[in-house]
Amino acid sequence: MKDTKGITLIALIVTIILMLILTGIILYQMIIKDGLLNHAKNAVIRTEYEAAKEIVELELMDIQAMCTSENKIYTLQEIAKVIKGVNDITIEKYYNEAEASIKEEIIENLVNLNGIVVSVNEYSKYKFLIGETGKIEKVSQQPIIGTTEIEDFQEVEEFEKEILGQVDKIKEEPPVSIDILTDLEKFKNIIQDEEKLTYIIEHPEIFIVPITQDINIATILLENEKAINLIIQNNEWRNKILEEDTIQALDNSGVVNLPTTNLQLYNSTTKTGNVVFSNYLRNDKIHSPINAFLGGIPGVNDWESSSLPAYIGHDFGEGKEVWIYKVHIKPGNNTAPTKMYLQSSEDNLTWETIYEFTKYTTPMNETIEVIQSDKNNKKSRYWRLYITESINKSYVDLLKIQFYGK
């Protein structure tokens, strides 16, 4: 019995020793060989580096947009002037053709710059070299001293692979940059690519100001059907496009014109006709709703409703949906609307109020109103003016209606 107990105790001790050895091997594999500690360390480095790089890149984008809007050339000197006043970024060194380092106090007189070294205060160990392209071209983790040369920095991709242990670049280049706006033909071709077009519309902080301030660029964008669809659904872009300084580009891009021939009054029985209306006074030649779309003559051919409320509109046709962004009206010589709405419909049965007009007019005076409304974010087949009140309170008289649409 004593021998048996001794063997059992020895076996237990051996088992424990073997388990400890195996545990040590496993921990070595996990922590040391497989690099869990290194992975954790790299994760911190990666996060700090990405944050620092993004801060610098966003600042450069803002400066480039500012230069475009102010008709300035995007140069290293402009970059240096702006960054000097940025709180969270420090300029650590300047390079030009003549000398390796230039004192900061003479920044206004810098010429022939071919490099600026900056760091983000919160992550100051990363030094970013901005080259003549106005982009981050090289990086270093070494302290910047008087003898530090451009050649002492690493290319961005090389730095990211070596320091962060990554095969691919940490951050993909954006599919399109603001540089495309310098070449109209190139811009026109690029926005044919749906991915690049979507990127432009989804980044108004980069593109909206330089595009809308150049009528030629804006017109090219607004001629693109896919761009229009994206803009309609984007409040920031839609409101900017409809501003007074930009809407001319929309007009230039080819608006939908209502036909002046083959206009037919809608027949609710046969469901035919493209002029939708509520009613008209007396005979259909003198006061037909069609007259308003053709541009009537007072007392000869205009549209007079027989009562209020009244409506008049247009069916743009099966399979054709339109976004109305502006309405031009001219009342007749008898009365004018004083409360009017723009409404849209998909079936000519259910109507949605998109906009309440604010610019009312007196008889014979024309007015044009831009439809700036958060509800105006889609296209519809049917559009109409719905009038509930007029000057004489019993009917409305219109000589002209013009819808501007895309």
Q: What does the pLDDT read at residue 103?
A: 43
Q: In this predicted model, what pLDDT tens digit does every residue of 259-286 receive, in sequence order? A: 777 899 999 889 899 999 999 887 667 8
Residues of the chain with pLDDT under 70: 1-7, 24-42, 97-111, 164-172, 283-284
Q: What is the dihedral of CA 185, 189, 192, 195, to 10 degrees?
A: -110
- pLDDT at residue 52 in the model: 92
What is the SS3 string spanning the chain? Answer: CHHHHHHHHHHHHHHHHHHHHHHHHHHHHHHHHCCHHHHHHHHHHHHHHHHHHHHHHHHHHHHHHHHHHCCCCCCHHHHHHHHCCCCCEEEEEEEECCCCCCCHHHHHHCCCEEEEEEEEHHHCCCEEEECCCCCEEEEECCCCCCCCCHHHCEEHHHHHHHHHCCCCCCCCCCCCCHHHHHCHHHHHHHCCCHHHHHHHHHCHHHHHHHHHCCHHHHHHHHCCHHHHHHHHCCHHHHHHHCCCCCHHHHHHCCCECCCCCCCCECECCCCECCEEECCCCCCCCCCCCHHHHHCCECCCECEECCCCCEEEEEECCCCCCECEEEEEEEECCCCCEEEEEEEEECCCCCEEEEEECCCCCCCCCCEEEECCCCCCCCCECEEEEEEEEECCCCCCEEEEEEEEEC
| pLDDT at residue 211 in the model | 94
CB atoms within 10 A of CB 154: 17
For residues 61 and 209, the answer to whether their CB atoms sit within 8 Å is no
Q: With 0.75 as the threshold, say if the pTM is over it.
A: no
pLDDT of residue 104: 45
In DSSP terms, which residues pair with 345 in a beta bridge?
Answer: 351, 382
pLDDT of residue 109: 53
Cα within 13 Å of Cα(243), Cβ side: 14
Angle at 198 between CA 192 and CA 199, to 5 degrees: 110
Distance CA 243, CA 148 (A): 50
Crossing angle (nearest 10°) for helices 36-69 and 76-83: 110
Cβ atoms of 209 and 65 within 8 Å: the answer is yes
Tokens of 35: 């690099």
How much is the pLDDT for 106? 45
- Tell me if 332 sits within 8 A of 397, measured CB to CB: yes
Furthest-apart CA atoms within the chain: distance in Å: 129
Strands of the sheet with 382-390, listed across from one edge: 275-277, 310-315, 382-390, 337-345, 351-356
Angle (CA) 248 253 254, round 5°: 115
Question: Do the Cβ atoms of 171 and 136 come closer than 8 Å?
Answer: no
Structure-token match 């900056």, residue found:
118
CA 27 from centre of chain: 51
